[in-house]
Structure 1
Amino acid sequence: MSTPNLYRRHRFPPDLIAHAVWLYFRFPLSLRMVEDLLAQRGIIVSHQMVRAWAEKFGRSIANTIRRRSTGRFDDKWHLDEVVVSIGGRKHWLWRAVDQAGFVLDVLVQSRCHCALINQNPV
C-alpha cells in the first residue's frame, strides 16, 4: 500500500497523523497525553482519533522509528510553511524538517505570524 493511498480520505494531512503516532510510539505517553501535546500546538484531535491512527499507521511508523533510532538527526534543517484547510477554516502548518526529510516538529496555527518573523530588528 503506497503512502498516498494509505492516508487517503483522512481529514488531517499525513504529516500531522504521522507526528501524532510518532509521539505515541516513540515516548511512553498515553493517548490523552498525545492529545494534550497536539492541542498545545493547535492540533485539536481526540484521544480516540490518536488510537485509531496508531492502530492503522503504527506498524509503518514504528519501523521508521527503529531505523532512525540507530542514527542521529542531521545537523541541517529547514522550516516549511503551508496553508491548509481544516474543517473549512484556513490554518498555517509549520514543519521543521532535517536534510534527510525527517519531520522534527509540527505546529499548526489559526493565524499567520509571518510578519513577526520577517521583521528586521531596529
Structure 2
Amino acid sequence: MAYRNFLPSSRAANVIIALGAFALGWAIYMRYALVEQSAIGLACRGMETMTCETREMVITLYGYSVFGIAAISLAVIQFIRPSLLVFTLALMATSIGVVMYNNNLSALAAGLLLISFARPWRGATA
C-alpha cells in the first residue's frame, strides 16, 4: 500500500502558520524588548515581577540550549514518524531557537523539517 508524502491540509497549514508566527513574535519580543535591553536588566536587579522572572527563565534556558535541543529532538521525531502535532511543535521550537541565539541546532532542525515533507505519511488520506 503506497502512502502519500507528508503534506498538511490547507486548514491545518493555516493553524500551523498562525502558531509559528505567534512563536516567532514571542521570541522577537523576548529578545529585543526584554533580554537585550540593558535598562530592563538594571531594573530587574532588585525586583520580583513576572516580567523579570520570565526574562531570567529565558536567559537560563538559553544557557542550556534548551530551545535548540527541543527543536532538533522534535524535528528528528518528525523526520522518523511525520505528524501534524509534532511538526507544529518542531516549527515553533525552531522559530524560537533561531531568534533566541540557538542558531546551530535550530537551523539543523529547520533542514530536517523541510526534508520531512518527502517522507511517507500514514495519516494521509488517499
TM over 0.5: no
TM-score (norm 2): 0.27
In our comparison, the structure showing a higher alpha carbon Rg is 2
Higher relative contact order (CA 8 A, sep 6+): 2
> Would you tell me which structure has more helix in proportion to its own residues?
2
The structure that is strand-richer by fraction is: 1
- TM-score normalised by structure 1 residue count: 0.28
